[in-house]
Amino acid sequence: MIVLDKMLPNMQLPVQRPGYAPQLDTVAEEVPVAFEYNGISHTVMLATPADLKDFALGFSLTEGIVERRSEVFDIEIEEAEEGITLHLEIAGAAFARLKERRRSLAGRTGCGLCGAESLTQVMRDLPPVADGTPFPLAALHEGMRRLPTFQALQQTTGAVHAACRVAADGGISHVREDVGRHNALDKTLGALAAVDAVPEGALIITSRASFEMVQKSAAMGYGILAAVSAPTAAAIRLADRLNLTLVGFLRGANCSIYTHAKRLQGSTT
């Protein structure tokens, strides 16, 4: 077992490659992160121990635990040998809602719905996203072109996903990385919410687009979600219902637009 003096997003470990001398390899860290609301344990996720306040706020908002940033009064981070605990103090009304729909999520990086207690908890009752200002398709390609230069952890470990917001000029901001694709998106959305950012522009993720990632994006009012890989059928159906433009295979000069292409300037509808 390896015990760290301080939780870091990556570390160096010796690795032996056949036929070569041992050398150090940088690997991404993955630790249990527990969420506590008003002193009550809620869930444990496996995550990269970086940008944890963004993670705490983003998860709380995208999962509907709180409805707005102002309902989160305080976030404290407690590190221990076995993992990290995020202590959140939230408004009484939000805590009452949480107790009504208790969830027990299993700590898995690849699943955003593990442990939901009923089918009604899977499909949240969200309003359709507003149409907003048309967005240049070329900006999505430019944002994806720029993103790798901001993925410091991915460049050193090759093991993490990223999410970010891209503006109409192709500029990107609020880049966050994590071993879990849902966590990366929650961190980006939490970082945006922390500065009361208006839900404009588009979101880019370096993974496939799953049902819950569409749901998280729409819950925060973003109308465009673009992924480097494929969407699932459930994600496409949900995006269509929520008036969200879903883009997949955003690579180079190519992409596939699955829903509401009219929101993208330069696309063929």
Catalytic residues: 111
Q: What is the 3-state secondary structure (H, E, C) of 153-176?
A: HHHHHCCCEEEEEECCCCCEEEEE
List the structure tokens of 15. 């690795």
DSSP conformation letters of 9-60: SEEEEEE--TTS--EEEEEE--EEEEEEETTEEEEEEEE-SSSHHHHHHHHH
DSSP conformation letters of 108-159: -TT-SSTT-SSGGGTS---PPPP--S-EEHHHHHHHHHHGGGG-HHHHHHS-
- Name beta bridge partners: 205: 163, 227
- Name beta bridge partners: 35: 43, 86
Instruction: Return d(Cα 265, Cα 77) in angstroms, integer.
Output: 43
